[in-house]
Chain A
Amino acid sequence: MKVNKQIGNFVTRNVRVALMLAMLFPALTFAQNGKLVLSFENTFGAEPLAFDKEYTNAHGENLRFTLLNYFISNIKLTRTDGSVYAVPQDSCYFLVRHSVPETHKIELTVPEGKYSSLTFLIGVDSLRSTQGPEKRQGVLDVGAGARGMYWQWNSGYIFFKMEGKSKSLPDSTRNGFYYHIGGYGGFDSKTLNCIRYRTLTFEKLKVSEKKTAQVNVTFDASKFFSAQTPIKVTEKRSIMGGPVSVKIADNYKDIFSLSGVIYSRMKK
């Protein structure tokens, strides 16, 4: 009995403390989190991108894709009042691999509220690119998750990687095209910088505990060849570094576009 009473007292006391805290810091104690999904949809024009299909780009060149991967990181959401929520640094790195459908959806836990824009980095920031293995977990693990997305000799991540075959290319090239874009700008001396942030604005995005919000982001691979710096596979079938890769980064950055926001009820 006595023990029970003690527990009772303890609980009452703590409820009182909690209430006091709640009055002092209403935002902190009552902030609820909701689920937000960023869904990356790779397309070619209006169609979903498929590796077994052949396409024609704006230059009339034949294309078949065999690989499309990109890092998405440093995700930030701006509220309608201008304040910003940043996804915690250690859990803000994602790698979208077209061949692995589960990687197309990025699930985030975000404070409830109304948001007006989303910003993300296509690639990996410079700080993380110079830290030790303890900071390279999950998709950043150069011995596992980051497979194929890391340059060892010029140590750094490949931010964006697109490969494929083109019948417009001569057989001597094995018909292959390769675009590997990376370069974080260097640690203490300047190197190639392909770090590009993309911001997408929406009229309103409401995150709440009750519904899952999903932001659909489209990457239209057809635009890759006909953006600001046009790329013809027959002229440049391999880009892995070099000043032109900076222009490619500018190209692909703008291709990420908002195609809509949908809501679904949380399953109990």
Chain B
Amino acid sequence: MRLATVFILTLLLSGCTDDDQPVKDPYAFETPSNFPSPVYTFENNPVSKRGVELGQMLFYDPVLSLDSSIACANCHQQAVAFSDPVHRFSRGVDDAAGFRNAPAIQNMAFQNNFFWDGGVKHLDFVPINAVTSKIEMAETLEHVVYKLNRSSFYPQKFKAAFGGDEITSQQMLYALSQFMNLMISANAKYDKYVRGDEHLTAEEAEGLELFENKCRVCHATDLFTDDSFRNNGLDASFEKDSGRERITEFEGDRGKFKVPGLRNVALTSPYMHDGRFNTLQQVLDHYASNVKNSETLDPVLKQGESLGIRLSEQEKLKLIAFLNTLSDNEFTHDKRFANPFVK
């Protein structure tokens, strides 16, 4: 009798989805069709609903900072693709000023290098920078784990997600990675155009063509970065910030910074590692007429008669129109990435 019931129930349940599209699990990691393969080590830390939700809580919880004043989300706001819209240099505990602009957080599973200088190679270790930096959250990983273990709700959530009786730093880093891995922006107008679901205006299409010819060398693939480090001619000397050289201690890397992905670029002002430009127009003006020479200036900016990229005012406008098609409204409004403490 019981068996029969189970059998009938199974039939009924499977019947529900038979005619429809299979239901997509919103917490499954899926590589967008126009993206390269991810590089994250999912075999060690697969994405799960519980893990992602835990990461989401940690991301919005100021418990990660020394005096519970600052959460990751302070400087990485969803409305602007998890970048900092207010500060050229983000502010940490005690209003300490950083020295670089907070980058957007998106499509992390596909990146090999993190931070403007590539100081971290593995996503799991990215949050440690912010947590322990004196000019950011000024905490220690140990103490955050201690606080989480004493909390009234985290222990049971961690146990449900990872098992074990005590929260470890590994679990905390895994939860944040799961959350960040799911943060994929791939539903901008551009993506829909690439997949044949939407059209571009004539101006946007011309902008895309210009982009392919003049920008793709560095902003490659549909992640819009080749994940390399380049000197894009912002300065002639680099006493203030030597960029990649800080990490490699190799002179040839002086003044080089990571090529940022351009997804949601219209939202992520201010621009460049030090946030010196407020508008895309200023960025393009730089490439067109203000590139400064130095030993390590990228060769692609030295090809013409003059330094930089030849761009007319009209071309700049078209490029900006195209760059606006990279804004992903679904990503910036996705409930899975929103503040879970605000109901």
A interface list, Cβ under 8 A from B: 130-134, 136, 141-144, 147, 152-155, 183, 186-192, 241-243
Contacts and interface: CB of A to CB of B under 8 A. Distances in A.
Nearest to B45: A132
B142 interface: yes
B132 A130 contact: no
Given A143-B145, A152-B128, A132 B122 contact: yes
9 contacts: A130-B121, A130-B122, A143-B145, A144-B141, A155-B122, A155-B125, A183-B249, A190-B250, A191-B248
A154 B115 CA distance: 10
B112 A142 contact: no
A7 B183 CA distance: 59
Question: DSSP majority for the B interface?
Answer: helix
A22 B243 CA distance: 61
Contacts of A183: 249
A132 B142 contact: no
Q: Which of A144, A155, A187, A242 has the most CB of B within 10 A?
A: A155
A42 B250 CA distance: 34
Contacts of B128: 142-143, 152, 155
A100 to B, nearest CB: 16
A83 B41 CA distance: 35
B125 A152 contact: yes
B119 to A, nearest CB: 5
B250 A142 contact: no
A155 B119 contact: yes
Q: Which of B45, B122, B129, B170 has the most CB of A within 10 A?
A: B170
Contact of B172 (A131, A132, A143, A155): A143
A154 B248 CA distance: 9
Interface in B20-62: 41, 44-45
A243 B133 CA distance: 24
B249 A142 contact: no
B246 interface: yes
B174 interface: yes
Contacts of A143: 128, 141-142, 144-145, 168-170, 172-173
A142 B173 CA distance: 11
B247 A132 contact: no
A134 B170 contact: yes
B247 A154 contact: yes
B76 to A, nearest CB: 17
Q: Which of B41, B141, B172 has the most CB of A within 10 A?
A: B141
Contacts of A189: 248
Given A132-B45, A132-B124, 9 more contacts: A132-B44, A133-B124, A136-B170, A141-B169, A147-B140, A155-B122, A190-B250, A192-B248, A241-B249
B218 interface: no
Interface in B81-134: 112, 115, 119-122, 124-125, 128-129, 132-133
A190 B252 CA distance: 11
Contacts of A136: 170
Contact of B170 (A141, A187, A190, A191): A141
Interface string B191-210: 00000000000000000000
A218 B121 CA distance: 35
Nearest to B144: A143
Contacts of A142: 125, 128, 141, 169
Contacts of B119: 153-155
A78 B129 CA distance: 40
B258 to A, nearest CB: 12
A117 B58 CA distance: 49
A241 B169 CA distance: 26
A189 B256 CA distance: 13
A242 B251 CA distance: 11
B236 to A, nearest CB: 24
Contacts of B168: 141, 143-144
Contacts of B249: 183, 191-192, 241-243
Nearest to B145: A143
Contacts of A152: 120, 125, 128-129, 132-133
A187 B169 contact: no
Contact of B246 (A154, A155, A186, A188): A154
A190 B172 CA distance: 30
Contacts of A147: 140, 142
Contacts of B250: 190-191
Nearest to B247: A154
B41 to A, nearest CB: 5
Interface in B136-190: 140-142, 144-145, 168-170, 172-174
Nearest to A193: B249
Interface in B293-317: none
B166 to A, nearest CB: 11
A77 to B, nearest CB: 31
A187 B227 CA distance: 14
A189 B230 CA distance: 14
A194 B114 CA distance: 22
Contacts of B247: 154, 191
B34 to A, nearest CB: 25
B169 A153 contact: no
Contacts of A153: 115, 119, 129, 133
